Structures are given as C-alpha cells and as structure tokens.
Amino acid sequence: MVSITIKGLTFSYNSHKILDDLNVIVDDSEILSLVGPNGSGKTTLIKCIDRILKPKGSILLDGKEIENMSRQEVARQIGYVPQSSSTPLATTVFDTVLMGRRPHIGWRVNDADLGKVAEVLERLHLGDLAMRDFSQLSGGQKQKVLIARALAQEPAVLLLDEPTSNLDMKHQLEVMETVSSLVKEKNISAVMAIHDLNLAARFSDRLVMLKDGQVYAAGEPKVLLNEANICKVYGIEAMVINALGRPYIVPVRSLTGALICD
C-alpha cells in the first residue's frame, strides 16, 4: 500500500503557469479522480507525479521524494496510462503488454511474466487480440491495451489520463469496473484525470476539482458534485440527481454573457 503527498506543486510551460501551489493527498487503496474543465491542469498533474514533467514543490511516495528515486524505482511503484500512444515498431498486443513487466524482468522473461500478461489480457477481454499488431487496432482497443500494460506492471499506484476517452459505454464500464475491483483486491491506489463526471461520481472514492491550475475543492463525490460547484468550475447550469446512491449530473445549458452562477 502506497500513499502520495503533494505539497506546494507548481508547474509552468515557459511563462504560462499551469499548476499553482497544489496540495493533494492520495490515500492508499483509493480511487482519486481529478476533474475540471480543459486546461485546468489534470493531465499536467498526472505527468508530474510520473516524473514526465519536472515541477517545483514536493511529491512524496510513502514519505520519499519521487525526484530522489531512480527511474526504475518509480516504474516499480507507478503505472502510467497515457491518453494515447503510438508504437513506432510493429509489435503484437501480447508484446506491448509484456513491456509492462520491464521493471521486474532481469536478463530474460520467465514463465511468471508470461503468466501475468496472459492473466491481464483475459481480465480485460483482450485474449483474442493477443497476436494482433498493436498499430492496427482501433483507438478504443489501443486504450485497453495500454491499461493492460500498466496493470501487468503490478504497480502500487495507477495513474490514468482519460482512460475512457476512446471507449464506448460498454467498454467504459468494463475498464472502470476492472480498475475499481483491482484497487480493492490489490490494495493499490488509482489517480485518474477524467472528464466524465458521472463515471467519476460512480467509481471514485474522492474527487479533486481543479480550476485554473488550483484546487477549487476536494471531497467525496456526493458532497463535491453539486449544482453550485459545477456552475462555478464549468460555467454551466446542471441538474444533480441521486442515482444508485451517487450524484448524477444532467447538463442543462452553457452560461455565457449575462448568465452567471448564483
């Protein structure tokens, strides 16, 4: 079990500040979703946690500064799923997922590594695609393979950047149900940048709502996702109703000009 503590995190592209003094705690064995409009800093924060970007401030992984950890140490602890990926070389789905075992593999792949890949492929219903060329898959299929690659890594923390963006409704639910069950079974943590507030509400333990690179609010979905917060962060009028014990958001209209939030 691993927790993440983010303190005073700031990141800028040239002179344009994207993240501004963020403080976030990710508890072990929870799904934390980052929500907010485009440009609020969700993807940037995910990349900072994975050390793709180098911010100012502090990111602690179980009390240890991530910037002081080797790349392999980070890879053993954190699995990252980008929004999309292009594979320059022709490679099968099986070999793509096997890449997730790289932090654990010595000189050669062993039976345990192959078994883990097969297990993950079956769990995500990708077994029939195992020998297909990754580059020839649909966008949704590629996304599921990237998630499988991260799961094969057996991370303590799973970072997902818009994991359902290219998926239809059935596969969105399949992926989210898989992530949710793995978090509980393996006692890992998941941090997701996600646009779909209804999926976030249904599958997240907590939300962090970002606006203009800052934490606007944080808490449980049933507390955070109310009409006032949605109006002020997204600039829309919405109805929030209870469905299956979780808030369900129905967008009504965009608020522009003289239309303002109460």
Which domains does the chain possess? 4-225 (3.40.50.300), 226-262 (no CATH)
What is the pLDDT confidence band of residue 259, given thresholds at 50, 70 and 90? low
Return the axis-axis angle of helices 111-123 and 139-152, rounded to nearest 10°. 140
Identify the CA nearest to 60 among candidates 38, 43, 79, 77: 77
| Cα–Cα distance measured from residue 163 to residue 143, given in angstroms and rounded to the nearest whole number | 7
Whole-prediction pTM: 0.89
* Per-residue pLDDT at 189: 92
Q: Which residues contact 246 (CB under 8 A, 6 or more apart)?
A: 201, 202, 221, 222
How would you label 164-181 residue by residue, b for 16+ Cβ within 10 Å and e otherwise?
Answer: bbbbeeebbebbbebbbe
User: Which pLDDT does position 206 carry in this prediction?
Assistant: 96
Residues 6+ apart with CB under 8 A from 162: 43, 83, 193, 194, 195
Instruction: Give the per-residue pLDDT at 185.
Output: 86
Chain mean pLDDT for the chain: 89
Biggest CA pair distance of the chain: 65
| Per-residue pLDDT reduced to its tens digit, 62-116 | 888 998 888 888 888 899 998 876 555 568 999 999 988 887 776 678 888 899 9
DSSP-based three-state secondary structure for 193: strand
1 confidence band (pLDDT: 50, 70, 90): low
Q: What pLDDT, on the 0 to 100 scale, is given for residue 75?
A: 84
